[in-house]
Amino acid sequence: MTASALYDIPLTLIDGTKTTVGAFEGKAILVVNVASKCGFTPQYAGLEALYQRYADKGLVVLGLPSNQFMGQEPGTEDDIAAFCGMTYGVTFPMTAKVDVRGKHQHPLYAELTKFKQGLFPGLIKWNFEKFLVTPAGVIVDRFSSSVEPESQEIVDAIEKVLADEAA
């Protein structure tokens, strides 16, 4: 898929605003499928810390809530936004709930899961899987749920993408 086609993918933000991935064109995007009642939910804190650390350098963290794994995101969009804001101080953009796999898979995840890397190609296996997209719209990295947002692996990947863009 071309970057321009990636940017054409529609998104509905958590507040109901209609947009596209193109709203983030020119920024690196860390795309994460999130859930409020998962063992990995505390990663919201690390995701927000990454966003605060790198937003001025061109990074957007984009959270896409999904209820597809053991019903760990049962609330409404209002419930999710309130929980994330009050519990973790989340300020990064989030979308309305989406399916990340299956018959009603969101088009963004249809594209992201085409990216093959290491042991985690194909289907989303659990909440808090992460994809890194360059400011040019190229998917370059995928990280499993167990990789903490502020891990050296993710920080190095983000810094490389941002440095490559600045060069």
Active site residues: 38
DSSP 21: G
Continuous H helices in the chain? 3-7, 43-54, 77-88, 107-112, 152-166
User: Would you give the DSSP letter of residue 86?
Assistant: H
Measured CA angle at 117 (ends 128, 61), to 5 deg:
35
